[in-house]
């Protein structure tokens, strides 16, 4: 393994990158600040009490979030970039075996992940020095879980990369898969957790794939475990993670074959130009979905129409599939809410439902918004768009509208579930309305920030990764402050930080445990609208400057 040329090339290339240095510095500063906020001001250390656990808990969640954000990005684009550059075929036809190629890419990413994790070891040692945290029960299991996550997400990224056709699509699918493994794996436990026998056991093992099942045991945060009925711990997560990694590695190595990666070019169709065939073609043209489209009316924004017609998932048949997909999601959410409210009550099922909806918005929103300008610049279409008589205002509104209507369809998927909750408990009608407003504000924040980030990036993969990073820092970063409530952060400071997170306002309205004491509406709505207005203003100024002559 030491003499593996792929390992040396990949590792040196990552270490020379400025993004790697920036990630190391940010992670080191963030972990150090969390410890300094709680470091004793006197000459004594709190050994008896467990005050350091209040710092260890947000630090553990912050490291987990950092691994989820930083680790999958490079392996998700590694193989697909080799294919597009034409170097993958050279590697597969070289004396280097497919297993050696795969291990070189996997180990290089895991080694870099261990370097990122090692940056936080001084902060973990400081928590140990403050007392209340042990190596055997907290620090050691946390490091093992982080290493297992790095290995699993690296294998996941390589498995997705070998099946993708572009870097931006690989990033979107990879982050979607990471989010599904972290959040959506808890869904079967919500539905089947209260049932006895084999279904409950299977739901527990599926939930063990999520790192949340391990963190709730390591940090001593039993709120989520009590809320969802999680009975697995960090050992179960490590076992499940290794099994997932082994399966993904096997599938990826088997796919690393020049014959399997060959993709034949379409040869086209041979058409008979006889009179009979021409007559039949004229008849079929009346119902042909691929026939020439009609003109765009003046009252319709041509940029919005252009986005829907050229986007991969923007054509009418894909929108119809999205509508039916939302209908299926609505039915599933209705079943979840109905069964959950009967077994657990409305208050217990509302929080996980809001979290799943926000996770869905964070999954789809950046993948759509990050392509608005970056994809045009990368493909060269922006130069063509500049010479058209379309104003920058119409470009701005058309781009944003194409994403807004798609996100609005996704938001409608939650309405039946909330309607069932209002029917079961009519007193919650006002709370449900406030939750829907909070989710709508979340849509505005996601769209505006993703579009603003896209305007400052020259490639779609960079814009997609940056959008996910900024949005996760906003939505998940504020929740890290909430985890450290009481020590070191006071209730007033936590409430002011949560005002910038519209998802926290939705959780507060549903009286989710830990959020019921905060009054976030309507301040969180105005804060979200202000963030969206600032991002859209910056986005508009950037578009106006990009449309000016050079």
pLDDT values of the chain reduced to their tens digit, one per residue, 550 residues: 567 778 888 888 878 877 788 888 888 887 887 777 666 655 555 544 455 666 777 788 888 888 888 888 888 888 888 888 878 878 888 888 888 888 888 888 888 888 888 888 888 888 787 777 778 888 888 899 999 999 999 999 999 988 887 777 788 788 888 888 887 777 677 666 555 667 667 777 787 888 887 887 787 765 555 555 566 678 888 888 899 999 999 998 888 876 656 655 555 555 555 666 666 666 655 555 555 556 677 777 788 878 777 776 555 666 666 667 766 766 666 666 566 555 555 555 666 677 777 877 887 788 788 788 888 887 788 888 888 888 888 888 888 888 888 888 777 766 776 777 677 667 667 777 888 888 889 889 999 998 898 888 887 777 887 888 888 888 877 887 787 676 667 778 888 888 888 888 888 887 777 777 888 888 888 999 999 999 999 999 998 888 887 6
3-class SS of residue 305: helix
- If asked whether residues 214 and 345 sit together in one domain, one would say no
Residue 241 domain flag = yes
Residue 4 domain flag = no
d(CA 109, CA 17): 13
- If asked whether residues 539 and 396 sit together in one domain, one would say yes
486: left (phi over 0), alpha (psi -120 to 50) or beta: left
Greatest pairwise CA separation for the chain in angstroms:
98
Residue 358 domain flag = yes
- If asked whether residues 472 and 368 sit together in one domain, one would say yes
The domain boundary, picked from 202, 226, 257, lies at 257
- If asked whether residues 422 and 325 sit together in one domain, one would say yes
What pLDDT is attached to residue 391? 84
Residue 175 domain flag = yes
Q: How many domains, the chain?
A: 2
Among 69, 56, 71, 55, which Cα is nearest to 14's?
A: 71
The domain boundary, picked from 239, 257, 275, lies at 257
- Residue 485: beta bridge partners? 489
For the whole model, what pTM was predicted?
0.74
State phi, psi for 330 to the nearest 5 degrees: -60, -45
- If asked whether residues 211 and 118 sit together in one domain, one would say yes
What pLDDT is attached to residue 536? 92
The domain boundary, picked from 257, 290, 319, lies at 257
Residue pair 206/185 in contact (Cβ under 8 Å)? The answer is: yes
What pLDDT is attached to residue 151? 92
Residue 308 domain flag = yes
Residue 424 domain flag = yes
Among 432, 424, 431, which Cα is nearest to 341's?
A: 424
- If asked whether residues 329 and 203 sit together in one domain, one would say no
What pLDDT is attached to residue 49? 46
d(CA 151, CA 106): 8
Structure letter (DSSP) for residue 135:
I
- If asked whether residues 458 and 313 sit together in one domain, one would say yes
Among 369, 383, 367, which Cα is nearest to 456's?
A: 369
Q: Which residues of 427-465 are buried (b: 16+ CB within 10 A; e: fewer)?
A: ebeebbebbbbbbbbbbbbbbbbbbbbbbebeebbbbbb
What pLDDT is attached to residue 371? 80
Residue 276 domain flag = no
> For residue 210, what are its two tokens?
């999520």
What pLDDT is attached to residue 256? 81
- If asked whether residues 423 and 317 sit together in one domain, one would say yes
- If asked whether residues 92 and 196 sit together in one domain, one would say yes
d(CA 428, CA 418): 9
- If asked whether residues 332 and 394 sit together in one domain, one would say yes
- If asked whether residues 204 and 325 sit together in one domain, one would say no
d(CA 529, CA 521): 13
Could you tell me the residue range of the domain that residue 25 belongs to?
15-38+46-257
Residue 543 domain flag = yes
Looking at beta carbons, which pairs linking 306-314 to residues 24 or more positions away fall under 8 Å?
306/398, 307/372, 307/398, 307/399, 307/402, 308/402, 311/371, 311/402, 314/402, 314/406
What pLDDT is attached to residue 8? 80
Alpha-carbon torsion 484, 488, 490, 496, what sign?
A: negative
- If asked whether residues 198 and 332 sit together in one domain, one would say no
Alpha helical stretches, state H, 344-459: 346-369, 374-379, 381-386, 392-411, 415-424, 429-455
d(CA 321, CA 332): 16
């Amino acid at each position: 393994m030491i003499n593996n040329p792929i390992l040396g090339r990949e590792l040196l290339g990552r270490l020379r990158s400025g993004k790697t240095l920036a990630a190391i510095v940010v992670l080191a500063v963030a972990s150090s600040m969390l410890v300094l906020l709680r470091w004793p001001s006197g000459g004594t250390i709190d050994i008896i009490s467990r005050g350091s656990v209040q710092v260890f808990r947000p630090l553990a969640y912050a490291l987990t979030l950092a691994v989820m954000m930083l680790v999958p990005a490079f392996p998700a684009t590694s193989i697909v970039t080799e294919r597009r550059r034409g170097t993958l075929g050279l590697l597969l036809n070289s004396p280097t075996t497919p297993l050696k190629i795969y291990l070189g890419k996997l180990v290089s990413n895991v080694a870099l992940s261990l370097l990122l994790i090692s940056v936080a070891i001084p902060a973990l040692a400081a928590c140990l020095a403050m007392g209340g945290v042990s190596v055997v029960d907290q620090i050691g299991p946390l490091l093992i879980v982080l290493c297992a996550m790095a290995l699993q997400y690296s294998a996941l990224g390589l498995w997705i990369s070998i099946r993708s056709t572009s870097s931006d699509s690989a990033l979107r699918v990879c982050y979607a898969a990471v989010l599904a493994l972290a959040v959506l794996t808890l869904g079967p436990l919500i539905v089947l957790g209260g049932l006895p026998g084999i279904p409950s056991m299977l739901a527990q093992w599926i939930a063990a794939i999520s790192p949340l099942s391990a963190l709730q045991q390591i940090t001593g945060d039993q709120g989520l475990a009590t809320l969802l009925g999680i009975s697995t711990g960090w050992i179960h997560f490590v076992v499940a993670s290794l099994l997932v990694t082994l399966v993904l590695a096997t599938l990826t190595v088997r796919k690393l074959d020049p014959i399997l990666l060959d993709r034949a070019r379409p040869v086209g169709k041979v058409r008979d130009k006889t009179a009979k065939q021409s007559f039949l073609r004229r008849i079929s043209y009346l119902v042909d979905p691929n026939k020439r489209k009609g003109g765009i009316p003046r009252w319709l924004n041509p940029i919005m129409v252009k986005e829907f017609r050229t986007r991969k998932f923007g054509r009418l048949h894909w929108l119809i599939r999205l509508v039916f997909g939302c209908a299926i999601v609505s039915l599933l959410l209705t079943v979840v809410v109905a069964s959950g409210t009967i077994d657990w009550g409305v208050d217990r099922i509302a929080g996980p439902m809001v979290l799943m909806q926000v996770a869905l918005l964070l999954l789809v929103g950046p993948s759509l918004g990050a392509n608005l300008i970056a994809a045009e610049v990368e493909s060269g279409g922006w130069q063509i768009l500049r010479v058209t008589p379309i104003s920058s205002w119409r470009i701005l509104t058309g781009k944003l509208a194409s994403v807004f209507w798609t996100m609005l369809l996704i938001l409608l998927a939650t309405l039946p579930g909330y309607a069932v909750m209002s029917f079961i408990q009519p007193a919650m009608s006002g709370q449900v309305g406030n939750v829907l407003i909070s989710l709508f504000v979340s849509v505005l924040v996601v769209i505006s920030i993703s579009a603003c980030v896209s305007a400052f990036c020259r490639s779609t993969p960079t814009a997609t990764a940056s959008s996910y990073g900024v949005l996760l820092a906003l939505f998940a970063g504020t929740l890290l402050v909430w985890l450290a409530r009481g020590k070191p952060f006071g209730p007033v400071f936590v409430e002011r930080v949560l005002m910038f997170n519209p998802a926290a306002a939705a959780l507060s309205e549903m009286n989710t445990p830990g959020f019921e004491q905060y009054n976030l509406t309507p301040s969180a709505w105005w804060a979200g609208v202000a963030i969206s207005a600032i991002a859209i203003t910056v986005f508009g100024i950037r578009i106006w400057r990009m449309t000016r002559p050079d």
